Structure 1
Amino acid sequence: MTWQAFVRHVADLLRRDGCTDVVVRQARSDRGIDITARTADGRSVAVQCKNRAGRASVPSADMQKFAGAARAVDRVDIALFVATCTFSREAQAIADLSGVITVNRDELEAWSAGVRLKTLR
């Protein structure tokens, strides 16, 4: 699946789980945020999507950029980083420190199969 199709897939999962105002941002002006949305109870959501093949993992630099954009620039309630791979140890540490929710390949497969994300409830 292309990265554009992957972003649309994640947007569809957000809608399926009750999010509204789901917007896929333009790639050149997204400020590190691919999708914005609102949960059913009104919380703001920012999503970064990384479609990586093979044994690649999300590096800390990608997590730093997203955490900064979601927390400092847009100040969202829920920062969600969805990847088709794993997260490096340092990227996961940054996510934990900054309150970013990570969704790795295994969690994405379960979400795609119908399991709702706890953070969106």
Structure 2
Amino acid sequence: MTVPVRRTSFVKRSRYGFDLRSTALFFVFLAVVVCALGWAARVAAGAVERRPAWVFVLVALGVAGCLGLRRRWRLAGVARRAAAALDEAAREAAEVLDAPSDPVRPVSAPTSATVSPTAPTTPITVAAVTAVTAVTAVTAVDYDALSPEGFEEAIAGLCERDGCTEVEVVGGAGDLGADVIAVTPEGRRAVIQCKQYGESNRVGSQDLQRFGGTCFSVHEADVAVLVTTSDFTAPALEYAEQCGIVCVNREGLEAWTDGTGPRPWEAALEDGAAGWETAGSGC
């Protein structure tokens, strides 16, 4: 009787098993590396002993090597971050392209039916807004509370409100009696002197004489006006009537301000002063 012979199967060795050959080669390589490092250290020590200056060279080489490695690590980190950012941007772009887009609704232009028939068609300019503001400020002003310069500005504002052009405030030292100069809507040159006096201090004939000596001959006025927050003496009114100077007292100024009275260059005042028809005749 024949007994069958079993075949011996080769047992596969584990990759993590002990291998005498690999272990011996590893220790040989380690010994070579240790010997090389020892020889390099000995050579470096001998060189330093013979030439101490080489210490700085070796240190510089070591620092340069460390910096180079660090720079490479930084560059590698930057490259990794840039690659990650590009990858994220690519994913977001793909999601945007894959998402369904909303339909765009056309914007229709406003038709004539949507425009109010009472809406103004002329644009409001900055100059118009400034003019309206100036008129409002003038009509609401308290003349007694103003400074002399402010009073002159207020009179100039009244002239602008009532259609005068080329309005200038020229009052000051050496003005020769002219505080405000303007051109009336009729094209006449108006020269105005402003007297901000108290109620008890009336404008006398000397004030009128000084103004009358320059308003026509020096300033070439077609209409000469003296405006005051007080009143005029009788000799002053007589002189003004002879020279053709329009006198505006406080009552006339308030009527001019609120629009209930005549403008100085349009008609004579009730106190008997001459109007603009006789202005320019001189004294």
Normalising by structure 2, we get a TM-score of 0.41
Aligned to 1:54: 199
In structure 1, C-alpha distance between the alignment counterparts of 2:207 and 2:223, rounded to whole Å: 17
In structure 1, C-alpha distance between the alignment counterparts of 2:226 and 2:239, rounded to whole Å: 12
What's the Cα RMSD here?
1.4
Give the letter aligned to residue 200 of structure 2: R
Give the letter aligned to residue 49 of structure 1: C
In structure 1, C-alpha distance between the alignment counterparts of 2:147 and 2:221, rounded to whole Å: 27
The yes-or-no answer on 1:40 pairing with 2:40 is no
* CA contact 2:199–2:231 (8 Å) conserved in 1: no
Say which structure, 1 or 2, has more relative contact order (CA 8 Å, 6+ apart).
1
**Hey, which bits of structure 1, 4+ residues long, moved more than 4 A?**
none
Q: Which runs of 5+ in 2 are unaligned?
A: 1-145, 268-283
In structure 1, C-alpha distance between the alignment counterparts of 2:179 and 2:156, rounded to whole Å: 9
More helix by share: 2
Aligned to 1:72: 217
Give the letter aligned to residue 66 of structure 1: F
**Pairing 1:12-23 to 2, within 5 Å after superposition:** 12-23=157-168
* CA contact 2:246–2:264 (8 Å) conserved in 1: no
Q: 1:49 to 1:93 in 2, by over 3 A?
A: same
1:7 to 136, 149, 152: 152
1:25 to 170, 174, 179: 170
| Superposed displacement of residue 74, structure 1 | 1.8
1:117 to 251, 263, 270: 263
Count, aligned residues: 121
* CA contact 1:33–1:48 (8 Å) conserved in 2: yes
The yes-or-no answer on 1:93 pairing with 2:238 is yes
* CA contact 2:190–2:224 (8 Å) conserved in 1: yes
* CA contact 2:204–2:232 (8 Å) conserved in 1: yes
Q: Which runs of 5+ in 1 are unaligned?
A: none
Deviation readout 1:63-114 (Å, 9 max, x if unpaired): 0011111122122100011000111111111100000001000000111112
In structure 2, C-alpha distance between the alignment counterparts of 1:32 and 1:119, rounded to whole Å: 18
* CA contact 2:248–2:264 (8 Å) conserved in 1: no
Aligned to 2:67: none
Normalising by structure 1, we get a TM-score of 0.93
In structure 2, C-alpha distance between the alignment counterparts of 1:96 and 1:35, rounded to whole Å: 21
| Superposed displacement of residue 29, structure 1 | 2.4
| Superposed displacement of residue 120, structure 1 | 4.1
